[in-house]
Amino acid sequence: MPRRLVVGNWKMNGDSVTNAALLQSLMSGLNGSGGVVVCVPFPYLHQARSLLAESSLTWGAQDVSAHRQGAFTGEVAAGMLKDAGCSHVIVGHSERRQYHGESSDLIAQKAGLVLESEMTPIVCVGETLAERESERTEEVVFAQLDAVIDRIGADIARTVVAYEPVWAIGTGRTATPEQAQTVHALLRERLGRVNSDAAGIPLLYGGSVKADNARTLFGCPDIDGGLVGGASLNVREFLAICGA
């Protein structure tokens, strides 16, 4: 797994016409360089697959069911995502935690199923503004990470972790490189207690990553890349972020 990674999280945006234009421009702009993933809405996974099959870009999903199969109306199983060619699956995005009441245990189960289907989970952790202001950042992100480590153990070395402070997502308010680096270093240290492979996984920063702040953020020693929401829908912005 390349340590340098940029992941576009399209969230609930796009349609087949705009997606095709965006993916075509990304393919020509990236010119064969790897380490870039686009996480598209479920209905467009097959479109991503047919357009990107021969390219260096890979595609993934934004969520997955915590069940393997069966009577779970509306859910999408990890095996189905594998079948659609996904390389990565985001689990535990703060919008899932916040709007769908997902617990760290549920997210840990999802991460386990993604691994079982031989894809890479991108495990999101991050504190709210109130938690940061009450100096609970470390406690919160460790609890979120530990729930996953407790479930999958040394397989944490087969994941990607994304630190996304909730107060920085879609707000235009980016964590300073110092704030982000501090949390990344703590996460790296915590992962290192599992083993040295775990300490070497890609640690992504997410939360209002833009063309003009990507280089400074990615220049921090423990920030290996980004999980990019809004800016991943804009070709120029996203290509500049990948370039950084």
- What residues act catalytically? 93, 164
Eight-state DSSP code of residue 128: -
Between 4 and 67, whose beta carbon lies closer to ligand PGA? 4
Which C-beta is closer to ligand PGA: that of 119 or that of 231? 231
Number of Cα atoms under 13 Å in the Cβ half of residue 219 = 9
Q: By rule CB under 6 A, what string of x and - marks binding of each residue 184-213 to ligand PGA?
A: ----------------------xxxx----
- Cα of 244 vs its chain's centroid, Å: 17
Region from 17-25, 106-114, 193-201, 228-236 binding ligand PGA, contact rule CB under 6 A = 228-236
Using CB under 6 A as the binding rule, whether residue 9 contacts ligand PGA is answered as yes
Site for ligand PGA contains 229 (CB under 6 A): yes
Euclidean distance between CA atoms 75 and 205, whole angstroms = 28
CB of 9 to ligand PGA, least distance (A): 4
Nearest to 164 by CA among 216, 112, 223: 223
Nearer to ligand PGA, 35 or 229 (CB): 229
Q: Considering beta carbons, is residue 70 or 172 the nearer one to ligand PGA? A: 172
Among 28, 193, 1, 164, CA closest to 93: 164
Q: Which stretch binds ligand PGA (CB under 6 A): 27-35, 55-63, 142-150, 163-171?
A: 163-171
Using CB under 6 A, pick the residue from 34, 43, 170, 192 that binds ligand PGA. Answer: 170
Q: How far apart are CA 186 and CA 192, in angstroms?
A: 10
Query: Which range of residues in 55-63, 97-105, 186-194, 222-230 is near ligand PGA by CB under 6 A?
Result: 222-230
Q: How far apart are alpha carbons 190 and 234 in whole angstroms?
A: 35
Measured in whole angstroms, the distance separating CA 193 from the mean position of its chain's CA atoms is: 22
Nearer to ligand PGA, 115 or 125 (CB): 125
Burial 52-89 (b: 16+ CB within 10 A, else e): beebebbbbbbbbbbeeeeeeeeebbbbbbbebbbbbb
Closest residue to ligand PGA, based on beta-carbon distance: 229
Q: Which residues bind ligand PGA (CB under 6 A)?
A: 9, 164, 169-170, 206-209, 227-231
